[in-house]
Chains A and B, each alone.
Chain A
Amino acid sequence: MTPEPQELPERSHEELLGILARAEPERLKAFAEPLIAELPEIEVRENRTGLVMLPMRDTAQGRHFHLGEVLMSEARIAAGGLEGYGMRRGRDLEAAMAMALVDLAVALGVAHDRCAAFVTAEDLAQAEADRETLRRVEATRVDMETF
């Protein structure tokens, strides 16, 4: 029987994956590598680069059309009857594998406290980087007056 995948407390699966996909790659790899020893035997089902086509909605007539393709790296692994999945921008296969390891560890209920702490730290770093970017954007806001 396939076990029910677990989630981190107060963190949806969507949030977990989104944060891992943008996590700083060297920190992610360093965090994920020790998890291997704590997981059941892992089967690597996929670890490759490939393209993801990105469509957009046209605001004039509402049509969906393709903007172009994005190079991504993907990893798909399995252990204990569950799958772990990683997909990130770029060609860093190790980082995609590290993402899949964390996803799998969370699903199996392995090292939840450490995973939650790592994900929270990365979430804060990403939020802070976005905030800094948007503070710089806000500096260019136009307070327009016409004559």
Chain B
Amino acid sequence: MAYVATRGGERAMEQSQRLFRAEMGAITPERVAEVRAAMPYLVDRVMGEASLYDQDLAALALAQTGGELYEAILLLRAWRTTQPRLTVADPVTQEGLFTHRRISAAFKDIPGGQVLGPTLDYAHRILATEVLKGETHVPAPVEPASRPSPARQPSVAAWQADNDLLTAPEPDTATGNDIPDVTREPLMFPADRAHTLQSLARAETGGVLALGYAAQRGYGQAHPTVNELRLAEADVVVRHPRGTRFSAGRVKVSQAEVVSKQGEALGLGFSATLGWNEVKVIAAATLDLNSNGAPKGSATEEEFFLYHTEGVESSGFCIHFKLPHYVTFQSSLDAMRDAKAKRAARARHAEPAE
């Protein structure tokens, strides 16, 4: 590829940004607060893809970009680089999650039972058009149970391992800065599993869904069944200077396991992300389940899905095609004209003399 430097567009560029922002008007603290309160699932999706958890910053990024998701995530990833890393928290475990939603499509009687939590899975999809006529749509309130659900739930996979359906994984001794980190190391193939799962955690939802859906429709090697899906809150456990470990707060996380028969045992695919985004983790876990032995260049091959679901890189590459390519395109035109001229010359020589 070749590029050419151009001049003369400064005023146009400045005005184009103003034109983009003029449509949105002033960005106020009230608007940011309203975005945060009214669209928690969009805020969650942005935090997950930005790999940065802070609802206020995510809402601000959405307000500032008018909901242009790729720009919002790029803003957050850029802002992240201005901040020091204070520490690495203790690893979150499935059993330690403060659980809001926990379902299984594989077993109806999982230990701890199933709680649907917040979901629109069973809702009628009816647009509340009365709001556009001036009415207020007030959703029916939850009728709380007399007793609380257990905050922590056992692991379905651990229960399956106890019943010889799965092999219980060995514990990982890597903690803190010893855990591989794609924000500090290049992604190489075959990828370290920690890199794979971290990349999927920060991947672009639509990209993961497209490739995961391809695998689910039959372009993969294994058909997934959701073993356990959780929407939960995880404690961020850090260390006091005197050594005391404590929870410095909770963050929302999603986690999915999908399962498939592999020989005489079950194979398990896993994914998790910051924020509540269950479509993404089910699709990503499907890719994880299918990646072992996937053909080169297929949707379920690790290198293919990790490279093509990184939202900032892929959207950046896509939009770079708008930038001046005058030299390369002119070169293509020259080659076309040259080929045409040569073909015409050959045709003239081939014509029989009269």
Seen from chain A, the residues whose Cβ lies within 8 Å of a Cβ on chain B are 5, 13-14, 17-18, 21-22, 48-72, 74, 76, 83, 85, 87-91, 103, 130-142, 144, 146
Contact = CB atoms under 8 A, between A and B. Distances in A.
B103 to A, nearest CB: 8
Nearest to A76: B241
B228 to A, nearest CB: 8
Contact of A62 (B50, B171, B179, B288): B171
Contact of A14 (B57, B92, B157, B245): B245
Contacts of B175: 55, 64
Contacts of B85: 50-53, 69
Which of A49, A55, A59, A140 gathers most chain B CB within 10 Å?
A59
A71 B216 CA distance: 35
Interface residues of B, number: 91
Contact of B179 (A52, A55, A59, A70): A55
Contacts of B195: 65
B220 interface: no
Interface in B136-183: 142-151, 155, 157-158, 169-172, 174-175, 179-183
Contacts of A58: 169, 193, 197, 270, 272
Interface in B63-109: 80, 83-94, 98-101, 103, 108-109
B270 A60 contact: yes
Contact of B91 (A57, A68, A89, A90): A57
18 contacts: A14-B245, A51-B52, A52-B87, A58-B193, A63-B194, A68-B48, A69-B51, A70-B54, A70-B89, A72-B249, A89-B249, A91-B57, A134-B148, A136-B145, A137-B99, A137-B148, A138-B149, A140-B101
Contacts of A57: 91-94, 172
Nearest to B84: A50
B204 interface: no
A76 to B, nearest CB: 7
Given A21-B246, A61-B169, A65-B197, A131 B148 contact: yes
Contact of A18 (B143, B146, B247, B274): B247
B238 interface: yes
B193 A52 contact: no
Given A68-B274, A89-B249, A134 B92 contact: no
A53 B90 CA distance: 9
A142 B83 CA distance: 44
Which of A22, A56, A89 gathers most chain B CB within 10 Å?
A56
Contacts of B84: 48, 50-51
Contacts of A61: 169, 193, 270
B251 A135 contact: no
A137 B142 CA distance: 9
Interface string B99-123: 1110100001100011111100000
A122 to B, nearest CB: 13
B246 A14 contact: yes
A137 B115 contact: yes
Contact of A135 (B52, B145, B249): B145
Nearest to A137: B149
Which 6 A-B residue pairs are closest in the complex by CB-CB distance? A62-B169, A134-B148, A89-B249, A17-B246, A138-B145, A135-B144
B212 interface: no
A144 B143 contact: no
B306 to A, nearest CB: 13
B100 A137 contact: yes
A66 B93 CA distance: 12
A56 B234 contact: yes
Contacts of A133: 100, 148
Contacts of B288: 60
B88 A53 contact: yes
A134 B152 CA distance: 10
Contacts of B147: 135, 138
B179 A72 contact: no
Nearest to A134: B148
A89 B248 contact: yes
A91 B150 CA distance: 31
Which of A60, A87, A131 gathers most chain B CB within 10 Å?
A60
B236 A56 contact: no
A21 B248 CA distance: 5
